[in-house]
Structure 1
Amino acid sequence: MGVVETLASRNADFVKTQFTDGLRMMPKLKTIVIGCVDPRVDPASVLGAEQGEIAAIRNVGGRITPRTLEELVMLRKVTQAAGADLGPGWELIVLQHTQCGITLLKDQPELLTPYFETDEAGLEAQAVADPRAAIAHDVAALRAESRLEGVRVSGLLYDVATGEIETVVAP
């Protein structure tokens, strides 16, 4: 059996045993987690979230890039159109992790400059090789974004060796 067939079979089991009918589009905890695509760091799993409690945006490194900011602004418009508002009462959590693959690219500006939409001089501020500094940088970028005013922002570091999270930037 191939991967698609295996996953389709697992979905059939999910429908029978775990599917929750009637979930709302807005996450119950009014929380969006921005995390890495690394399969070891599934935000719902590592944070113990139930289906429908959080939303997740995942990208390389779990970074706040100009594109990520635009996605969050778009999500704010979606929440407003749905009769809510991604504003006061909402949480944004930057969830990055140890042993992240993006750190292996620290000496490849040809990949990183377009990703962060910066020049080589601006890469140093991105702190690609230092996850704690990267979290602090990204939280600051979210807090400075006027179009997300009123949202509480925090930054967590997940240790892939222990499974534990560390609060790097408190809300």
Structure 2
Amino acid sequence: MKLVVLILAAMMINHSADNVHQFTFTAIDGKQVNLSEFKGKKLLLVNTASECGFTKQYAGLQELSEKYADKVVVIGFPANNFGGQEPGSNVEIQGFCEKNFGVTFLLAEKSSVKGDDISPLFKYLTTTENVDFAGDIKWNFEKFLIDEKGNLIHRFRSKTEPLSDELISKL
């Protein structure tokens, strides 16, 4: 089964996507989500972790998702790529986010954002032709802002707070 998943992932990586609206992912509740569902709105895609120094950014992401719901859809992608800081199961992650930060924005199932098993979406985001936004994710809570047509328009590193003027000005 893992081999089939790897082959399909490799096929998607080799497929030349025009924008993020061509990608799907599995939500934390197991449902398939096609990013084309969000055409016409900006997306803020964030790799998250429950045991990171930046975990408190969940609160800012939740506030941003509520305050700017007419402009942007926030989607968190839990990942255990950095220091084992997302060790929980999907159920544990979802419970933690709801209990501690009141998270209601969309969460993906736990996936990889770096390395040999990187998800096709994050492979696409980190290999963009725009050199200002390309390159490996360095840590948890990096943020990718996507425009209404599915194009990457800005990348924010971990230290950029969700409600910072820098990020809000791009919405």
Q: Give the shorter-chain TM-score range.
A: under 0.3
Which has the greater radius of gyration?
1
> Using CA pairs below 8 Å that are at least 6 residues apart, which structure has the higher relative contact order?
2
- TM-score, normalised to structure 2, is 0.27
Could you state the TM-score of these two structures normalised by the residue count of structure 1?
0.27
Structure (1 or 2) with the greater helix fraction: 1
